[in-house]
Structure 1
Amino acid sequence: MTDGEPHHEARTGAEAAATASGDHVRRSGSGHQAHTMAELARLAGTTVPTVSKVLNGRSDVSVATRERVMRLVEETGYRRRHRSGSQRDRETGGLVDLVISKVSGSWANLVLNGAERAAASAGLDVVVTVARPEQDAGADWVARILARKSRGATVALLSPSRTQLQVLSAAGIPLVLLDPSADSASGVPSIGTTDWAGGYAAAAHLAALGHRRVGLIAGSGDYRYGRARVDGFRAGLEQAGIPLPEELIESADWRRESAAVAAARMLALRKRPTALFACSDEMALGTYQAARALGLGVPDDLSIVGFDDLPESAWVTPGLTTVRQPIEDMASAAMRMLLRLRAGAPAGSAREELATELVVRESTTTAR
C-alpha cells in the first residue's frame, strides 16, 4: 500500500515493466492521475518502447512522435528515476559531462581547464559534448546526452529550452548551467559572475580618470550577462553624472571583427569619445584595431576597457584594462555542484555568483 491508500489498481504488464526498468511514477497532486511510461505511451498514441527510445535519445523515432512525446513529458511533469547500482551507473560512474558551444578560443579552454580540475579531484574524467544548435532535434546535444546515458551535465554558455529541460528531468539527468545566456532556465542550478558590478566598476574607473565622453560597445543578442554588464555600466556613468547619448552606443556580435566595425563608426564621429567600454575582451581587441586604423593611440587618444580578462588581454600592447571574471573557478564550481547533485545531495543555492574584479593595465589613462 502507498500514500495511505487501502488498495491499489492492478498494473498492466507494460506498466510493471516500465516501473521495473526505473520508471518513476509522479503524482501531480492529491486526486490527480499518476503518470507512468505506459501512460505517456497511451496519451501519445504509441508504445512503451517508443517512449523509452525518445527518453534515451534514440534516433530511430519519427520527428512527429518525438515532439509529441516531449510535449507530453513537459505537460505531465513525468520524471524517470534511475536506481543506484544500475548498469547505467556502472557504465558512466567514472565520467562527467560538459556541454559547450565551441572548443576553440581562450574562453572555452578556461572552461575546460576548470571543469577538468574539479572532475579530476573527484577521480572522474570529463566527456565533452559540443552543442550543434543548427542540427535538427534528433541530433541535438540533448539527444546525444540522453543516448550516452549521462548521469548529469554541466552546460556552459547555453540556455536549454523549457522542453529540453523537462525531457532531461524526465530522464533523471541533473544539470548545472554555467553562465546561462537567457532567463528561460530560471530555477535550474547555475553558476555565474557579478556582471552588473563589473560593468559598474568599468564606468567608475573611466569616470575617475576624468573621461566625460564615454562610448559603449554592447554585445548583440538578449543575453542575461550582456544586459547585466550594460546596466551596470549605465548605472556607473549615471552615478558619476556622465551622459550616455545614443551616438555613443554601438552593438557587435561578440567577435573582434564585428566590434572593429562598430568602433570605427563611433570613432569617426566629429566629437568622438575619449574612452570606450566593450562588453568582452574580444570586442575590446577589435576596438584596438579600429583605433589604430584611424591613427589613434591607445591610451593617449582613446582609453579602452574590456570584460573577461582572457590571457590575450595581458599579451596585447598596451595591456588591456579589463573586468576579470574567474572563468576557471566558475567552471570548477559548476562541476562541483553537479557532482553533489549526482551524489543525491541538494545543489544549495539555485544561483551562485563569483565576484568580478577590475584589472588595471596600460590601455586606460587620464583624459586629456
Structure 2
Amino acid sequence: MPSRRVTIAEIAASAGVSVPTVSKVLNGRADVAETTRRRVQQVMIDRGYQRRASGAQRPVGLIDMAVPSLDSPWVVDVLRGAEAEARKVGSQIVVTSTERAPAGNRQWLDRLATRRSDGLVLVVSEAAPEAVEQLAALHTPVVLLDPVGGSDPSFATVGATNWAGGLSAIEHLIALGHRRIAALSGRPQLACSQERVEGYRAALGRAGIPVDERLVHFSDFTTSCGRDGARVVLDVPEPPTAIFAGSDMQAFGVYQEAAARGLRIPEDLSIVGFDDIAFSELAAPPLTTVRQPLARMAAEAVRLLLDAGNSIPGPPPRVELATHLVVRGSTGPAPR
C-alpha cells in the first residue's frame, strides 16, 4: 500500500505556523522571517514532504551555477557554454563562487529559497550534506558537473571520459619511447582525479611497464601544486622523462619547475596536461593536452536542468562526453 502524502497542513502544524506561511516558504516569498523559513524547511525534510507534480511553477528565467572559484581559466569555458545554452531559452545565469569549499552554506541556501530559481548546476566537487537535503526540500532541480564518486544518485550528472583521457595521454608518451612517466592529479577524493590516474595505470599495465608509486602524486589542480608535485617526482633517484598532469594548470606548474632546474621541454622532459584551456596553445612550447569539452559539458548540464520537469520516471541521467588528445610541442621522444 503506497505511503500517504504529507500535507501542507501537517507541515504547518509540526512547524507551529499557519498554512499560508508554509505556502510562502514553498513559493520562495521574501516576507517570511529567516528563522521561520528554516524551521519550516527542516520540517519538510524531516517529514519527507513532496510537492505535487501537477501545477508546476512557472519558470523564472534564472539558473544558478555554483563554481569552485572565479580565478580558474577553465571556469570561463564552463560559464561560456552555460550562458550560450541559457540564452537560447531567454534565461540568465547567476554565478556563485564557493571558494573551493563544499557548496551550499546556509546563507546561500536561504537566498536561493527566497528568490526562487529554475535550477542549479553544481560545477564543484561536492555539495555540503545539508545542501543536498535543503535542495530536495525546495524541489530545486540540480545537475552535477563532473562530481565526485558517491554523489547523491538523485541528481543528474554530466562528466567527461577521464579514464580514457588519461589512457590516451600515457599511450602517446609510451609511443614516444618514455618508460619513466609520472602522474600528478587533484585531490584523491575526486572521482575525476582517480579516473585520470587509473587511465595512467592502465596504459602502463598494457605496455608491461610497472607503476612506480613514487611517481604518482595527488594534491590539487593548481599551478602551485603542479610545481610542488613536479619537485617531488623529479627528486626521486631515477627521475621521470615525462609527466602527465591532471590539469593544464598543474602542467604550467611543471613548466615552472622544469625551467628552474634548467630542463628543456620536450628535449629533457615531456609534459601532457588535461583540459585544453585557452592558454594551453600559448605556452612555450604549446602544451600537449587532453581536451575536455568544458563548454559542451556546461551546455549539456543546462539542457538537462531545463528538461528536468519533463523527464520520464527512472534514475537521473548520467552523461559522459568524450575527451581526446591534442598533440602540440611539449611532448617529444624520450631522451637517450
**Normalization by structure 1: what TM-score?**
0.80
1:209 aligns with 2:180: no
Moved more, 168-177 or 315-324: 168-177
Which shifted more, 53-62 or 164-173? 53-62
Q: How much does 1:180 deviate? A: 1.6
Q: Distance in 2 between matches of 1:330 and 1:95?
A: 19
Name the CA shift for 1:60/1:345 in 2 (closer, same or farther; >3 Å): same
Deviation at 1:255, TM superposition (A): 1.1
2:276 corresponds to which of 287, 300, 309 = 309
Name which of structure 1's ranges 76-85 and 328-337 shifts more when overlaid on structure 2.
76-85
Aligned with 1:231 (options 179, 194, 198):
198
Q: Deviations over 1:272-316 (max 9, x none)?
A: 111111111110110111111011111111111111011111110
Contact 1:79 / 1:171 at 8 angstroms: preserved in 2?
no
Take 1:207 and 1:197, find their aligned partners in 2: how far apart are those partners? Answer: 15
Which residue of 214, 229, 251 maps to 1:284?
251
Q: Which has the larger radius of gyration?
A: 1
Q: 1:121 aligns with which of 88, 110, 113?
A: 88
Over the matched positions of the two proteins, sequence identity in percent amounts to: 40
The farther-off stretch of 129-138 and 349-358 is: 129-138
Partner of 1:252: 219
Shift of residue 138, structure 1, vs aligned partner: 2.9
Aligned residue in 1 for 2:131: 164
Given that 1:100 and 1:158 are in contact with CA atoms closer than 8 Å, whether structure 2 keeps it comes out as no
Q: Which residue does 1:328 correspond to in 2? A: 295
Structure 2 equivalent of residue 198 of structure 1: 165
Q: Distance in 1 between matches of 2:153 and 2:64?
A: 21
1:104 and 2:71 matched = yes
- Residue in 2 aligned with 1:138? 106
Aligned residue pairs: how many?
331
**Structure 2: 5+ residue runs without aligned partners?**
none
Distance change in 2, residues 1:362/1:219 (3 Å): same
In the alignment, does 2:5 pair up with 1:37?
no
For structure 1, the 5+ residue unaligned runs are: 1-28
Equivalent position of 1:20 in the other structure = none
Quick one: structure 1 residues 85 and 238, their matched pair in 2 at CA, closer, same or farther if it must change by over 3 Å? Answer: closer
Query: Which amino acid in the other structure matches residue 34 of structure 1?
Result: R
Q: Identify which of structures 1 and 2 has the higher relative contact order when contacts are C-alpha pairs closer than 8 Å and 6+ apart.
A: 2
Equivalent residue, structure 2, for 1:77:
48
Distance change >3 Å, CA 222–CA 213, structure 1 → 2? same
1:159 Cα deviation (Å)?
2.8
Mapped contact 1:81–1:172 kept (Cα < 8 A): no
Task: State the Cα distance separating 1:94 from its structure 2 match.
Answer: 3.1
Please give the alpha-carbon distance, in whole angstroms, between the structure 1 residues aligned to 2:95 and 2:126.
Answer: 17
**Alignment of 1:300 onto 2:267:** yes
Q: Give distance in 2, aligned partners of 1:300 and 1:148.
A: 56
Offset of residue 345 of structure 1: 3.8
CA separation of 1:85/1:35 partners in 2, compared to 1, >3 Å: closer, same or farther?
Answer: closer
Distance 1:81 1:130, change over 3 A: farther
The change in CA–CA distance for 1:225 and 1:69 in structure 2 (over 3 A counts) is farther
1:84, CA displacement in angstroms?
5.0
- Whichever residue aligns with residue 202 of structure 2, its letter is A
Aligned CA distance change for structure 1 residues 57 and 196 (closer, same or farther; 3 Å) = farther
Q: Name the aligned partner's letter for residue 298 of structure 2.
A: A
RMSD: 2.8
Tell me what 2:286 maps to. Answer: 319
Q: Report the AA paired with residue 279 of structure 1.
A: G
Tell me the TM-score normalised to structure 2 length: 0.87
Aligned AA (1:78): Y
Mapping for residues 167-182 of structure 1, pairs under 5 Å:
167-182=134-149
